[in-house]
Structure 1
């Protein structure tokens, strides 16, 4: 599905550029109201909005709210709020749509608009398409006259989110634990430390002084060295680094070593199964997760099902099937008993509970997972004929898939944004991974013109 304004996760780009500016935000606000009326049968649509700490966030909020008001809609302003808080607020209010004004882990010069349905799940393809088309159709007339559009204070919903996270766990369960947090100078800068302290932990925080320009600047989930430096100055039981909008995280063990997303998913899955809280004994993950995750969970009697990349695909499948746990290697974790979108704070608190209840160190817990050796290549190509029309490549893929069986996998696809073909091989041994990649490369060179 080719869209004009929406990318893989909403609208995102440099603020003030062609992809995202005040005019587009204004039209997005108008489009949201019109689509809500036409498709969701809401005469006076109520839309919940939160934002991260970027300086451009207030300007985009004002423009978006102006568009909502111009169409006769209502807007609830959460203020600075993590993306999972926005999804929660949509679910707990009478909102028909919600949006988070954020560019996630991108630098401060970027921003974006992520939409949610009133149920707190990211929009379906059909709803996203309707929003995208409507943004292109509505007029930007009035954007220059937007001053202080009417907005309802939503801070009570933000506080309710924090209370709901705390209520998931026994009172004071993290007493005696020393936890390091890197809040990326982003949307988690107040809520995350408060929640962990309410759960009884001693908390040391860095990157919790946003100034509008320092979000993700050498800190947060993209910069593990920041929290590791904190570890060099003291001892911690666990550490967590969030991205700018708080929908994903990186975990650190007691030695300050980053834990892979797959290892986190393995630990959460095994614990959920032990407690009888893993419907179908199944974890939902994406095609990007290492096959070592499948192997580790198979030994524990747990199955995996895979979706396309993105927590929105994970959440959709979970809702369709009744599975309650999903996530991807990037650190998005969907805890179905609480939310239907990635939530870094809930995932962090859940792992902290496991470490506390089992009285073990993080490094011991994550030892259950061992990644399969992996080889990957991205090759520029002259054109992108269908893979099935490439006789040598399709035959090679079929042959290797039979040879590897459950001990390996292939992922061969074209880039959606560049003239490239991407190759991924995972296998039980380094030798097998390299030999399989060599065969794939030879087949690609026979069928495609490399640039």
Structure 2
């Protein structure tokens, strides 16, 4: 699609994504969901803490109401909360304004369907046709103009829901929370304190410009240091819209999305709650985790990179858990999308239930070293079809002989080929990745 990628319409605010875009997206959705103002429709809007989110919120609300939709503003909240409120509140759709883990100057518009999933492509294509002037619509008139209402109770309902997903009290546990100066700042502390934890906060003072700056799940180092210095039992870091979660154990070691999926899947299998003994991951998940899961009698089923593909696989087969190394974890029983705070609760539930420290929960996993090289080329497709490049990739796979893997994929947004090699020895990873990159360099000239 021209504007909407796997995570919505995203780009630099007022350059790639403008207030005019937001108004027109809202205007079209208003017309589409009210069938030209012949029926009533309602939606919710949430936003993260970046400065431009307010501009886009007001532009979207104006467009939607002019199209005839009643708009309910959740204000600063998380992406998963918008999914939850949209589904549980019987709204026609939801919108989240966020650029997730990107810098403050980027932003995005993510549209969610009535069941809490990402909006189907067929609807997004219609929105794009309108933005390109291919469709004419009418505005609502008189009493059909939509109203705009604050809906803070929706966020409160979500907080109550999160606390209801566990029977355990977290009393006596010292928990660090890195909110990335983003959407989790308004929710995470309340949730964990309601569950009894003693919370220690960092990066929970957003100013519109500091979201994701040297903090959160993409910059985990500060939480590692914080957990060790404060002597905490565990720490959790979220990204800007809190649909991702990384954990840090009591020793300062990082538990990324792969390790969190491992410990949760093993726990679920022990309780006969892991459907078909299967975890859904992407092709980017670490082979060491896959091997560790196999020892526990659990299969890893891989999809293309993107939580969208993980979600579709889970929906189709009813699998219990899936996610990405980046920290998007989906628990089918509780949510339609990745939810960082919910993920943190699930990890805490295991720690409390087993009466153990988090470092013991992943003791059976040895991550494979990996080397990733992003190779910029003029024509990625042509380079990948080059016989010399193909031979280099085949030769690397043959050399690994099942003790590692080679993953080659094109970037969806730029002329870059991503080379990933995993093996039991770091030196082998680096050597094979560099050999493939060199052949691509030759082929790309």
Question: Structure 1 stretch 387-396 or stretch 376-385: which is displaced more?
Answer: 387-396
* Contact kept? 1:376, 1:425, Cα under 8 Å: yes
* Corresponding residue of 1:367: 363
Structure 1 position 379 matched with structure 2 position 375: yes
Task: Write the mapping of 1:2-17 to structure 2, written as runs, cut at 5 A.
Answer: 3-17=1-15
* Corresponding residue of 2:106: 110
* Corresponding residue of 1:101: 97
- For 1:225 and 1:434, locate their aligned partners in 2 and report how far apart those are by CA, in whole Å: 24
* Contact kept? 1:66, 1:149, Cα under 8 Å: no
- For 1:49 and 1:77, locate their aligned partners in 2 and report how far apart those are by CA, in whole Å: 5
Normalised to the residue count of structure 2, the TM-score between the two structures is 0.91
Task: Write the mapping of 1:328-339 to structure 2, written as runs, cut at 5 A.
Answer: 328-339=324-335
Structure 1 position 192 matched with structure 2 position 188: yes
* Corresponding residue of 1:74: 70
SS at match of 1:106: coil
Q: Gaps spanning 5+ residues in structure 2: where?
A: 140-144
* Contact kept? 2:28, 2:127, Cα under 8 Å: yes
Q: 2:248 aligns with which of 241, 246, 252?
A: 252
Task: Write the mapping of 1:368-447 to structure 2, written as runs, cut at 5 A.
Answer: 368-386=364-382, 389-398=385-394, 400-401=396-397, 404=400, 406-430=402-426, 432-434=428-430, 436-437=432-433, 440-441=436-437, 443-444=439-440
**Cα distance change on mapping 1:79 and 1:275 into 2, 3 Å:** same
- For 1:25 and 1:74, locate their aligned partners in 2 and report how far apart those are by CA, in whole Å: 16
Structure 1 position 33 matched with structure 2 position 30: yes
* Corresponding residue of 1:145: none
Task: Give the Å deviation of 1:34.
Answer: 3.6
SS at match of 2:373: strand
Task: Give the Å deviation of 1:371.
Answer: 1.5
Task: Give the Å deviation of 1:418.
Answer: 2.6
Task: Give the Å deviation of 1:247.
Answer: 0.5
* Contact kept? 2:384, 2:390, Cα under 8 Å: yes
* Corresponding residue of 1:354: 350
Q: CA RMSD in A?
A: 2.6
**Cα distance change on mapping 1:109 and 1:418 into 2, 3 Å:** closer
* Corresponding residue of 1:63: 59
SS at match of 1:75: strand
- For 2:106 and 2:265, locate their aligned partners in 1 and report how far apart those are by CA, in whole Å: 35
**Cα distance change on mapping 1:208 and 1:389 into 2, 3 Å:** closer
**Cα distance change on mapping 1:353 and 1:26 into 2, 3 Å:** same
Task: Give the Å deviation of 1:387.
Answer: 6.5
- For 1:338 and 1:5, locate their aligned partners in 2 and report how far apart those are by CA, in whole Å: 31
Structure 1 position 153 matched with structure 2 position 150: yes
Task: Give the Å deviation of 1:131.
Answer: 2.8
SS at match of 2:193: helix
Task: Write the mapping of 1:237-276 to structure 2, written as runs, cut at 5 A.
Answer: 237-276=233-272
Q: 2:166 aligns with which of 166, 169, 176?
A: 169
1:174-214 deviations in Å (ceiling 9; x for gaps):
11111011112211113111111111111111222223333
- For 2:9 and 2:411, locate their aligned partners in 1 and report how far apart those are by CA, in whole Å: 19
**Cα distance change on mapping 1:433 and 1:217 into 2, 3 Å:** closer
SS at match of 1:318: helix
- For 1:10 and 1:413, locate their aligned partners in 2 and report how far apart those are by CA, in whole Å: 21
Q: 1:325 aligns with which of 311, 321, 328?
A: 321
**Cα distance change on mapping 1:42 and 1:129 into 2, 3 Å:** farther
- For 2:18 and 2:5, locate their aligned partners in 1 and report how far apart those are by CA, in whole Å: 15
* Contact kept? 2:244, 2:327, Cα under 8 Å: yes
* Contact kept? 2:262, 2:293, Cα under 8 Å: yes
SS at match of 1:188: helix
Structure 1 position 234 matched with structure 2 position 230: yes
- For 2:434 and 2:384, locate their aligned partners in 1 and report how far apart those are by CA, in whole Å: 20
Question: Structure 1 stretch 335-344 or stretch 217-226: which is displaced more?
Answer: 217-226
Question: Structure 1 stretch 50-59 or stretch 281-290: which is displaced more?
Answer: 50-59
* Corresponding residue of 2:142: none
* Corresponding residue of 1:278: 274
SS at match of 1:23: helix
**Cα distance change on mapping 1:128 and 1:409 into 2, 3 Å:** farther
- For 1:212 and 1:438, locate their aligned partners in 2 and report how far apart those are by CA, in whole Å: 40
